[in-house]
Amino acid sequence: MSIPTGKYYLLLAVATLVVIIDQASKYIIVTHVGLYESITVIPGFFNIVHVQNPGAAFGLFAQQAPMIRNIVLIGASVIAMGVILYLFYQTPATYPLLSAGFALILGGAAGNMIDRLRWGKVVDFFDLYIGSFHWPAFNVADSAISVGMVVFAYYVIFRKVPI
């Protein structure tokens, strides 16, 4: 069985690009925007903020003891990345969009895991809202994971990919 190298170059390129953009954007936020500061970009819709989420998505596990929380969340990230790599490996080379979706998820998971390993929390800075409804702040890694999951869901629901 031969390994389709083009598919693996796609994984490496997309995941690496996500990590680089994610970490660079977080560096800019941490060094140029004060913690809890908000910069209006589109009034009534979009701000740049600087918040740090010690928990998982939507602040889950944020109240747990830091050591327990980090062990659980870093462990979950490692397991999730392993599952994504397995699914990527099982994906036929004839599904490059699905492969790219998995690469987005992998890069996003790696970007957020880097934050957890460095600071014990994740830097978030995109703040979308309409009126008093605010979506929880998120970052480039979260966006990559979300887009990758939409691609994956599309293939699972509509394309019936043999994974």
Catalytically active residues are 124, 142
Given a contact cutoff of 8 angstroms between Cβ atoms, the answer to whether 23 and 15 are in contact is: no
Coil, helix or strand at residue 34? coil
Residue 9, number of CB atoms within 10 A of its CB: 10
Q: Report the chain's C-alpha Rg in angstroms.
A: 17
Coil, helix or strand at residue 51? strand
Structural tokens at position 37: 């500061």
| Crossing angle of helices 96-119 and 5-32, rounded to 10° | 40
Q: How far from chain centre, in Å, is Cα 112? A: 6
Structural tokens at position 141: 């890694």
